[in-house]
Structure 1
Amino acid sequence: MKNITLDRIDKEILSFIQDDAERSVADIADAVGLSQTPCWRRIQRLQAADFIKKRVGLLNAQKLGLSMTVFVQVKAARHDGQWLDKFAQHASGFEEVVEFYRMSGEYDYLLKVLVADMVSFDHFYKRLVNGIDLNDVTSSFAMEQIKYATAIPLNHL
């Protein structure tokens, strides 16, 4: 699909969807001042243009027993494409890794890991480092979550 320009209504629709993905098209249409069919068409257009990647339910990690958040920083053993691809595939394969970034700076990668406790983290860590050659790995344990948001800022649009 070609590039589309977002207008005020598109921005409002995106805001409502990221606030509550279960909100009905009728509710969204009413809130943005459209009838249901044009609103539905806009939502379809936004999905086709990949502005809406997926609609999901956000689960409560604490309630599900995942009370430990760990940020793992990794220095690559090598900086060739084959190793980078292998590491990306290796680290992405762990369910515990909920976010994974290639970084600039001292460390090459940052992984956000959710686990139940230190024993679970140790098990994850051993599987991570035993599966591939790494130069350095360091972990930081989150003591308190101050802010957590999944909403993407839209004010710049």
Structure 2
Amino acid sequence: MIDDRDRRILDMLQENAGVSVTDLAEQVALSVSACSRRIQRLEETGHIARRIVVLDRELMGVPTTLFALVKTAHHSDEWTESFRRAISDIPEIVEAHRLTGNYDYILKIVLPRVEHYDVIYKRIVRRIELFDVSASISMELMKSGTSIPVGYAS
């Protein structure tokens, strides 16, 4: 069970995982050792899955975002696992979701430029049979973030 202090710690760590324990402790009115123990407990319970660094996509040379909507005629566990393997080692595919509705999967792909999508597309279709792929280019980033709401956690 987590409390409001834990939620505040989680919020602050989501904003900046590199914040010092001293600063965190001060913000949540705890001693440094008590704050450190809470962080350790939150890691042990899985509330903190991992700590990461978010890179600047412009500076990293992949400013373009494309969403590929995928339809397949196959829905077996074997095909799904083959699809998972086919996309898993393509670093430009940063997210993949199985969907309800008209499409089966959506892939979020980051690219140096739109034309590079053809390289990624060919890598995918060489590895696995797809029924249809429809791509949409992101024209403007309206909202982005890695933080999730902490108010629902128990």
> What TM-score does the superposition give when structure 2 sets the normalisation length?
0.95
CA-to-partner distance for each residue in 1:33-52, whole Å, 9 max, x for gaps?
A: 11011111110110111111
Runs of 4+ in structure 1 deviating by more than 3 angstroms, as ranges, are none
Matched letter for residue 141 of structure 1: I
CA-to-partner distance for each residue in 1:41-68, whole Å, 9 max, x for gaps?
A: 1101101111111111111111221121
Alignment of 1:113-124 (within 5 A): 113-124=109-120
- Give SS of 1:107's match: coil
Whole-Å Cα distance in 1 between the matches of residues 126 and 114 of structure 2?
18
Alignment of 1:49-60 (within 5 A): 49-60=45-56
Q: Alpha-carbon deviation of 1:123?
A: 0.6
Q: CA RMSD in A?
A: 1.1
Match of 1:23 in 2: 19
Match of 2:58 in 1: 62
CA-to-partner distance for each residue in 1:68-102, whole Å, 9 max, x for gaps?
A: 10001111231111001110111122100111111
Q: 2:37 aligns with which of 24, 37, 41?
A: 41
Size of the aligned set, in residue pairs, is: 153
- Give SS of 2:122's match: helix
- Give SS of 1:113's match: strand
Q: Alpha-carbon deviation of 1:9?
A: 0.5
- Mark the runs of 5 or more structure 1 residues left unpaired by the alignment: none
Q: 1:110 aligns with which of 101, 106, 113?
A: 106
> What TM-score does the superposition give when structure 1 sets the normalisation length?
0.93
Whole-Å Cα distance in 2 between the matches of residues 153 and 121 of structure 1?
33
- Mark the runs of 5 or more structure 2 residues left unpaired by the alignment: none
Whole-Å Cα distance in 2 between the matches of residues 146 and 72 of structure 1?
18
Matched letter for residue 66 of structure 1: V
